[in-house]
Amino acid sequence: MAHPVCRMVYFLALYTGQRISDVLKMTWKHIKGNVIEVVQEKTGTTTWIPLHPTLQDEIRAYKHAMGDKLGYFIIVNQKGKAYTADGFRSVFHKEINACGLGGRTSNDGCTIHGLRKNASTALAEAGCTEKEIMAITGHKTMAMVQHYTRDAQRKLLAQSAMRKWENRS
């Protein structure tokens, strides 16, 4: 994605596991050292998310690219104002399609909410427990985390099972 705002949203959503509404409400004050603090709009849950090194690099690059266009909110439109979720989705989908990552329908290709699932999956593949994943994503129930991470957990369990079987031989 060439557009620095879309790129920043992509990395914020992927490396924090937050909903688009929460990503768009993030301010520079929410970043405290190597942590970003988010109070989720939907649940009221406060999450303290350590910044992944890739996200830290992207934040530095974004600040450089935006220069004097940085606003109170991390993600701002050309007028320096915060986006609405619907307004940003439109911009995001145009950028995604321009990059060839969009699908034929809204269910194909890259979606903003899919990045939340991708974050959960990546955490599960890294061996995080459901409670650890919930601490990052702010999910209220283990059922939702299990829904998001089912395939990743099956893959890890299959690998573990095969190692046990191989060691038995």
pLDDT at residue 57, as a whole number: 97
Give pLDDT tens digits for 86-125.
Answer: 888 888 777 766 766 555 544 455 677 888 999 999 999 8
Q: 4-168, what's its fold?
A: hpI Integrase; Chain A (1.10.443)
pLDDT at residue 110, as a whole number: 66
Residue 63 has pLDDT above 90, yes or no: yes
What mean pLDDT comes out for the span 24-41?
A: 95
- Among 33-47, 51-65, 67-81, 124-138, the least confident range: 67-81
- Within 10 angstroms of residue 116's Cβ, the number of other Cβ atoms is 23
pLDDT at residue 25, as a whole number: 95
pLDDT at residue 129, as a whole number: 93
Domain boundaries, the chain: 4-168
Residue 167 has pLDDT above 70, yes or no: yes
* Model pTM score: 0.83
Residue 78 has pLDDT above 60, yes or no: yes
pLDDT at residue 1, as a whole number: 41
